[in-house]
Amino acid sequence: MKLVWKLLRQHISWPQFVGFFFANLFGMTIVLLGYQLYCDILPIFTANDSFLKADYLVVSKKIGMANALGQQHSGFSKDEIADLQAQPFVKGVGQFTSTAYKAEATMGVSGMKILNSELFFESVPDPFVDVSLDNWHYTPGDSLVPVILPRSYIAMYNFGFAQNHSLPKINEGLVGMIDLHIQVQGKGGQGYFKGKVIGFSSKLNTILVPQSFMTWSNSHFSPDSEMPPSRLILDVTNPADQRIGTYLEDHNYELEDNNLDAEKTTYFLKLMVTLVMGVGVVISALSFYVLLLSIYLLVQKNTTKLQNLLLIGYSPSRVALPYQMLTLALN
């Protein structure tokens, strides 16, 4: 093998191959740094919300004087939902479904009761919740209900109740310490459930339960009670699209927490990182192509030597091995 290598390396230009190596290294460095930058910066704009994707927007109607006096309902009609669905910048529309019955919840941490209040729950279609359906499903008759709480709840406990009562603070990794007992009551009777907190959301200021639980509980505890949705969740093609803001303003709609700016920033961040990584991939691809071309020219220069090696008994795989090793080493 050493003799074959000495024979075939005579036409190799080492400075040229070193240049190929560093060009390929430079391209891959750009790709990896772009990806690492994206992973480091993205949580700043998405608030570490792992349950709703960045392209989702929560829309509601602005509250006017007529709504405040109870003369006008703030829900969305079927025509308004259909019109919103027909917009070119909307990929999908989901409706928030609210409880049509009375619900009371008792929340505790490690056996210590910290909250007892009448609450309301909401749900969105399962495709809009970025969580495994194995953990986000309710079967009628079960006493355990998966729940996603607003992140403000854990902040309220840590910096209010826990600090004043010398209780241990909890983070999102210790959701198992939270006890949530739910009592519901309506025209169809009453029921008791235990809530299983699976995480927290920054985009929602409501207690979220699976759509399957909401559909069953409304039909069971409050039959024949149907209310139009007061909020919608949108899956948009491009959060930076100027038509979104114009449409919402023209129809007197508003975004929850005014998160359109954050969505635009996230979109542009993805676009910039994609462009940077694309440049790195192009540099690496061109470097690899030029390297293969150089290897091909090197083979052409050594055609006579290669033929002689084959004639004296060397196998084609053994003769090609030095070039294969050289290509792998440089890449």
Task: Please write the tens of the pLDDT for every residue from 279-324.
Answer: 888 887 887 777 777 777 766 766 676 666 666 766 767 766 666 6
For residue 37 the two structure tokens come to 């930058």
Q: Are 120 and 127 in contact (CB under 8 A)?
A: no
Please name the residues in contact with 148: beta carbons below 8 A apart, sequence gap of 6 or more.
51, 129, 131, 197, 198, 199, 200, 201, 204, 207, 208
Tell me how many degrees the CA angle 208-80-250 measures, rounded to the nearest 5.
Answer: 105
Q: DSSP for 51-78?
A: SS-TTEEEEEEPP-HHHHTTSS--SPPH
> Which H helix or E strand runs over 325?
helix 316-330
Query: What pLDDT sits at residue 133?
Result: 67
- The DSSP code for 119 is E
Helix axes 316-330, 260-301, angle to 10 degrees: 140
pLDDT value at 71 more than 50 = no
Output phi, psi for 319, to 5 deg. Answer: -70, -35
**What are the residue ranges spanned by the domains of the chain?**
2-40+274-330, 56-268
Average pLDDT over every residue of 50-71? 64
pLDDT value at 171 more than 80 = no
% the chain with pLDDT above 90: 8
Query: What pLDDT sits at residue 86?
Result: 92
Q: Are 306 and 278 in contact (CB under 8 A)?
A: no
Task: Please write the tens of the pLDDT for every residue from 225-238.
Answer: 777 888 898 888 87
Average pLDDT over every residue of 257-263? 59
For residue 161 the two structure tokens come to 């109740």
What is the arrangement of strands in the sheet containing 231-236, beginning at the earlier edge strand? 90-95, 231-236, 56-61, 253-255
Other beta carbons less than 10 A from residue 261's beta carbon: 13
Q: What is the mean pLDDT of the chain?
A: 77
Average pLDDT over every residue of 179-187? 87
pTM, full prediction: 0.62
pLDDT higher at 220 or 303 = 220
Confidence of residue 93 (pLDDT cuts 50, 70, 90): very high
How many CA atoms within 13 Å lie on the side-chain side of 238? 8
Mean pLDDT lowest among 151-160, 262-271, 276-285: 262-271
Query: What pLDDT sits at residue 51?
Result: 54
Helix axes 303-311, 260-301, angle to 10 degrees: 70
pLDDT higher at 155 or 47 = 155
pLDDT value at 125 more than 80 = yes
Alpha-carbon span 82 to 79, nearest angstrom: 5
Alpha-carbon span 319 to 4, nearest angstrom: 7
pLDDT higher at 93 or 62 = 93
